[in-house]
Amino acid sequence: MRSPRFLACIAIVFWGVSFVATKAVLREIAPVTLIFLRFAIGAVVLLAIVRELPPRAAWPQLALMGFIGIFVHQMLQAYGLTMTAATNAGWLIGLTPIWSAVLSAIVLRERFGLAKIAGLLGGFAGALLVVTRGDFSSAFLARPSTLGDLLIFISTINWSIYSVVGHKTIRTLGPRRATSGAMLFGAAMLAPFFVARRGWSDVPHLSATGWGALLFLAVGCSALGYLFWYGALERIEVSRVASLLYAEPLVTFVAAALLLGERVSAAVVAGGLLVLVSVLVAQYGAGPAALPSAEEA
Spell out the residues 6+ positions from residue 242 whose beta carbon is closer than 8 angstroms to its own.
Answer: 289, 290, 291, 292
- The answer to whether residue 113 sits within a structural domain is yes
pLDDT exceeds cutoff 70 at 2: no
pLDDT exceeds cutoff 60 at 297: no
Average pLDDT over residues 245-258: 82
Average pLDDT over residues 24-35: 95
Q: Looking at residue 39, what is its pLDDT?
A: 94
- The answer to whether residue 254 sits within a structural domain is yes
With 0-12 / 13-18 / 19 or more C-beta atoms within 10 angstroms meaning exposed / middle / buried, residue 106 is exposed
Q: Are 92 and 156 a contacting pair, CB within 8 Å? A: yes
Could you give the percent of the chain with pLDDT greater than 90? 35
Per-residue confidence band for 264, with pLDDT thresholds at 50, 70 and 90: confident
Q: Looking at residue 231, what is its pLDDT?
A: 78
Q: Looking at residue 140, what is its pLDDT?
A: 58
Q: Looking at residue 185, what is its pLDDT?
A: 95
Indicate the number of domains in the chain.
1
Q: Looking at residue 141, what is its pLDDT?
A: 55
Query: Per 3-state DSSP, what percentage of the chain is helix, strand, and coil (rounded to 5)?
Result: 80, 0, 20
Q: Looking at residue 289, what is its pLDDT?
A: 44
Q: Looking at residue 19, what is its pLDDT?
A: 92
Distance from CA of residue 35 to its chain's centroid? Answer: 13
pLDDT in tens, 48-58: 988 888 899 99
Per-residue confidence band for 294, with pLDDT thresholds at 50, 70 and 90: very low
Q: Looking at residue 243, what is its pLDDT?
A: 65
- The answer to whether residue 293 sits within a structural domain is no
Q: CA–CA separation, 75 vs 186, rounded Å? A: 11
Q: CA–CA separation, 80 vs 146, rounded Å? A: 9
Q: Which domain holds residue 121?
A: 4-286
- The answer to whether residue 52 sits within a structural domain is yes
Q: Looking at residue 64, what is its pLDDT?
A: 96
Q: Looking at residue 293, what is its pLDDT?
A: 47
Q: Give me the half-sphere count of Cα atoms (radius 13 Å) on the Cβ side of residue 241.
A: 24
Q: CA–CA separation, 76 vs 233, rounded Å? A: 28
Q: Looking at residue 290, what is its pLDDT?
A: 43
pLDDT in tens, 101-133: 777 677 766 666 777 777 777 777 777 777 676
Regarding pTM above 0.85, the answer is: no
pLDDT exceeds cutoff 80 at 11: yes
55 vs 136, higher pLDDT: 55
- The answer to whether residue 107 sits within a structural domain is yes
Mean pLDDT of the chain: 82
Could you give the percent of the chain with pLDDT greater than 70? 84
Average pLDDT over residues 94-100: 75
Average pLDDT over residues 203-224: 94
Give which of 267, 254, 283 is closest to 94, Cα–Cα: 283
- The answer to whether residue 196 sits within a structural domain is yes
- The answer to whether residue 295 sits within a structural domain is no
- The answer to whether residue 291 sits within a structural domain is no
Average pLDDT over residues 187-202: 95
